[in-house]
Chain A
Amino acid sequence: MVRYIIKRAFLAVGIIFSISLITFFILNVIPGDPVAAMLGEFADADKIAQVKAQMGLDAPLPVQYINWLTDLLHGNMGTSYFQKKPVVTLILQAFHYTAIMATAAYIVALILGLTAGILAAVYHDRPIDRILMSISAFGISAPSFWVAILLQIYVGLKFSVFPVSGVSSPVGYVLPSLALGTRYAASISRITRASMLEVMGQDFVKTAYAKGLYQRRIILIHIFQNALVPIITVIGTDIGALLTGSMITENVFNIPGIGKLLIDAIHRRDIPLVQGGVIYVAAICVLIYFIVDVLYAVINPNIRLTKGE
């Protein structure tokens, strides 16, 4: 188990390193001069060169990369060209909003998705199953910005129960969480149902019935636990997507989260912020996949046994 975790951890660090390398060089070879953009269209060449030298941008690319990487390891991602604040501070601020929204949305998604998926599997091929799966097909196909706008119009404006924009108070998170949560609920319910149906056909489920266990225990312990691996994979991917910012939903509800921060940074060629943002996104994804890998081993002792010691 310990060896398994260490192996995964090394792999994770390696991936983040490669991503940092790739982003750094890509951002530096794409056309468009950030310094020129920063100084405005009337800046002359001398001025631009002077600023570049100040910022260390005249050094060869590999040197720039080493400098940037050294700073990164010290927790310094540079300063945003436009907001003139440390990139780390900006990302942490935005993360605060994104994290609250992601958590709220995913709680909605888990409750709705798992309940619907388990019910649909248990009542396989009966009306409940068909109704729930039609709703979830709808939920997956409906774009969340559209659901977001519907919620704004019908729940927000008509009944003015919840604010439609901004998160100055906690109730501001209600509509965005619902808009995002229902979409993820739909995908969780489908994978839960499919995965449980597959497990239900296995021999040990028959054994569990033959032992005279309560049906609730058979469904929640024997079947659900064995169905968990694919479900957790989907949950991991979803949480990764949520934490790296839901750009459109954040824009619709005007939430200053990661998604909005990065979109703005890209528009302004704010290279340090974009680089920092990409590293953040990569780190979150890698971290979540690492956690998912560890969870596989926790749930399934067989993974622990074969891949571990």
Chain B
Amino acid sequence: MERENILEIKDLDVRLFTERGELPVIDRLNLTLRAGETLGIVGESGCGKSMLASAIMGLVARPGKVTGGEILFGRDEKQDLTKMSAKELRRIRGTGISMIFQEPMTSLNPLMSCGRQIVETIVAHEKIGRAEAKARAISIIRSVGIQRPEKVYGEVPAQLSGGMRQRIMIAMALVCNPELLICDEPTTALDVTVQAQILGLIRRLQKEKKTSVVFISHDMGVISQMADRVAVMYAGQLVEYAQAEAIFTRPLHPYTQGLQAAIPKMNEKKDSLESIPGNVPMLYELPKGCIFSPRCAYATDRCRSERPQIVEADGHRVRCFLYEQGGDAQRREMKATDTSETKIENKKKIGEEGEG
């Protein structure tokens, strides 16, 4: 059975107004998310993932601005988030759409107890008594897997570890039962064991509360654990969009293939890790043709002079001339290219927190 869409992004344009001129941070992006599903958004740093999250939340701040397109949100009567007044947006944030951020160390107010930060979210949206709000805060703290929630309720963020703080963030985001949860690199700042716990927690709560999730990450491994569908972004453009399984088993776009090849595999022994040569281009010096062409092993003269449009191929939507006629025939395996520029993403380890 086809599930209804909860989020439809149509031709979304977000620009940064800088001294170097208008920069397209997000360029005519089209995406949909079905209710209850998880949409993974993957790409290197600087590809516009976080700006997309801000755009959905209505939090694009100067010098950025949503300059075109629609973000339709809701089940039956969809509302365009880009056209909403500040007042309407405030009402939707927290109750309709919530967000978890990358840095649990800095995303909570350092001066306010965790409990109060959750309570103020409830109070901002509901007419509710103090005692009742507190009881609800404690129960949601318990539900994110924190022992002794009454104690943590009164503690300030500095007394908690990174993983605990991210749990509090999740509790805070979900306390008003939003329909959509945006997770912007929620585990990037955490160490690997904590990362697995937090991902498990998000999945469990999503199932319990039937929340739809937009999950943003640069980490293909994490995306593969979370997403039903995956959108691959590159320098502000959507380059490939398909079912998660299809993305991981049969990536079409050369960039997706590169990302896929960069995941280290347990059963292969190699001296160096795979990487895609080069860097994401700066927004003020985007190539004239395909934005990926400078790093693409298959780039032709046409790729360097003309922008490819999104085409349907093999159940994927992909922005590449290779698939213009559709079908599987022209799919090629991307050969491992120059690996001299190997970069290993350093995961920040969260140190021990100071004891009280």
Residues on A close to B: CB < 8 A? 202-204, 206-215, 217, 221-222, 225-226, 299-302, 305-306
User: Which of the 9-residue segments B86-94, B275-283, B290-298, B303-311 touches chain A?
Assistant: B86-94
Complex CA distance for A221 and B119, rounded to whole angstroms: 14
B124 touches A217 (CB 8 A): yes
Instruction: Check: B257 CB closer than 8 A to any chain A CB.
Output: no
Task: Report whether A210 and B111 are in contact in the complex, using a CB–CB cutoff of 8 Å.
Answer: no
Binds A, one of B6-14, B24-32, B74-82, B102-110: B102-110
Q: Indicate if the CB atoms of B101 and A203 lie closer than 8 Å.
A: yes
**Which residues of A are found within 8 Å of B109, using beta-carbon distances?**
204, 207-208, 222, 226
Partner of B59 from the list A202, A210, A299, A305 (CB cut-off 8 Å) is: A210
Q: Indicate whether A299 sits within 8 Å of B356 (C-beta atoms), given known contacts A203-B106, A212-B95.
A: no
Contact check, B107 vs A207: say whether CB atoms are below 8 A apart: yes
Which residues of chain A have C-beta atoms less than 8 A from B124's C-beta?
A: 211-214, 217
Q: Is the CB of B158 within 8 A of A302?
A: yes
B127-161 Cβ-contact flags toward A at 8 Å (1 or 0):
00000000000000000000000000000101100
Q: Does B211 contact A (CB under 8 A)?
A: no
Would A210 and B156 be within 8 Å (CB), given that A203-B103, A203-B107 are in contact? Answer: no
Give CA–CA (A212, B106) in the complex, Å: 18
Q: Decide if B188 is an interface residue (CB 8 Å cutoff).
A: no
A239 to B109, CA, bound (A): 29
Q: Which of A202, A206, A226, A305 is the one whose CB lies under 8 Å from B356?
A: A305
Shortest A121–chain B CB gap in Å is: 14
What 7 pairs across the A-B complex have the smallest Cβ distances? A212-B94, A212-B93, A203-B106, A210-B99, A211-B121, A203-B107, A204-B109
Interface size on B, residues (CB 8 A): 32
Knowing A207-B108, A212-B121, say if A305 contacts B158 (CB, 8 Å).
yes
How far does the alpha carbon of A202 sit from the alpha carbon of B108 in the complex, in Å?
10
Per the bound structure, the CA–CA distance linking A212 and B159 in Å amounts to 25
Cβ of A202 and Cβ of B106 under 8 Å apart? yes
Q: Which residues of A contact B172 (CB under 8 A)?
A: 207, 211
B125 CB-CB contact with A under 8 Å:
yes
Q: Check if A212 sits within 8 Å of B91, measured CB to CB.
A: yes
B125 to chain A, nearest CB (A): 6
Cβ of B159 and Cβ of A305 under 8 Å apart? Answer: yes
**Docked-complex contact A210 and B98, CB < 8 angstroms:** yes
Residue of A at shortest CB range from B91? A212
Interface pair B120/A207, CB less than 8 Å apart: no
Q: Report the separation of the CA atoms of residues A209 and B172 in the bound assembly, to the nearest whole angstrom.
A: 13
Q: How many whole Å from A80's CB to the nearest CB in chain B?
A: 48
Chain B nearest CB, measured from A11 CB (Å): 23
A-B contact pairs, 14 of them (CB 8 A): A203-B101, A203-B106, A208-B109, A209-B59, A210-B98, A210-B173, A213-B90, A213-B94, A215-B86, A215-B90, A222-B112, A301-B158, A302-B156, A302-B158
Contact between chains at B110 and A226 (CB < 8 Å): yes
Contacts of B106 in A (CB 8 A): 202-204
Given the complex of chains A and B, what is the CA–CA distance between A204 and B57 in angstroms?
15
Measured between beta carbons, the chain B residues less than 8 angstroms from A299 are: 111
Q: Is the CB of A301 within 8 A of B111?
A: yes
CB distance from B51 to the nearest CB of A (A): 13
Contact of A212 among B90, B108, B110, B111 (CB under 8 A): B90
A127 to chain B, nearest CB (A): 15
Would you list which residues of chain B between 110 and 124 have a CB under 8 Å from chain A? 110-112, 120-121, 124
Q: Which residues of B contact A215 (CB under 8 A)?
A: 86, 90
Q: Give the chain A neighbours of B98 by CB distance below 8 A.
A: 210-211
Chain A residues with Cβ below 8 Å from B322 are none
Per-residue CB contact flags for chain B residues 311-350 toward chain A (1 = under 8 Å, else 0) read 0000000000000000000000000000000000000000
Q: Which chain B residues border A208 with CB–CB below 8 Å?
A: 109
What residues of chain B lie closer than 8 Å to A217, measured between beta carbons?
120, 124
Instruction: State whether B94 touches A302 (Cβ < 8 A).
Output: no
**Chain B contacts with A in 169-196, Cβ cutoff 8 A:** 169, 172-173
Q: Is the CB of A225 within 8 A of B169?
A: no
- A212 with B92, Cβ < 8 A, contacts A203-B101, A206-B59, A206-B101 known: yes
- Of the candidates A214, A225, A301, the one whose C-beta lies within 8 Å of that of B156 is A301
When the two chains form their complex, are residues A207 and B101 in contact, meaning their CB atoms are under 8 A apart? yes
* B21 in the interface (beta carbon within 8 A): no
Give min CB distance, B159 to chain A, whole Å: 7
Residues of A within 8 A of B90 (CB): 212-215
| Chain A residues with CB below 8 A from B351, complex form | none
B159 to A, closest residue via Cβ: A305
* Residue numbers in A under 8 Å from B121 (CB-CB): 211-213
B234 → A minimal CB distance (Å):
25
Complex interface: chain A residues within 8 A of B111 (CB): 225-226, 299-302
Q: Are B103 and A211 in contact (CB under 8 A)?
A: no
Residue of A nearest to B54 (CB): A206
Determine the residue in chain A with the shortest Cβ distance to B175: A211
Residues from chain A with a CB closer than 8 A to the CB of B120 are: 211, 213, 217
Contact, CB under 8 Å: B107 / A204? yes
Which residues on B sit within 8 Å (CB–CB) of A221? 112
Do B108 and A210 touch (CB < 8 A)? no
Bound-complex Cα distance A209 to B159 (A) = 24
| Chain B residues with CB under 8 A of A210 | 57, 59, 93-94, 98-99, 101, 173
B95, B108, B111, B169, most chain A CB atoms within 10 A: B111
In the bound complex, how far is the Cα of B158 from the Cα of A199, in angstroms? Answer: 17
Q: How far is the CA of A230 from the CA of B50 in the complex (A)?
A: 32
Q: Which residues of A contact B356 (CB under 8 A)?
A: 305
Known: A212-B121, A212-B124, A301-B158. Contact between A204 and B108, CB under 8 A? Answer: yes
B156: chain A residues within 8 A (beta carbon): 301-302, 305
Q: What separation, in Å, do the CA atoms of A75 and B212 have in the docked complex?
A: 72
Within 8 A of A (CB), among B35-71: 57, 59
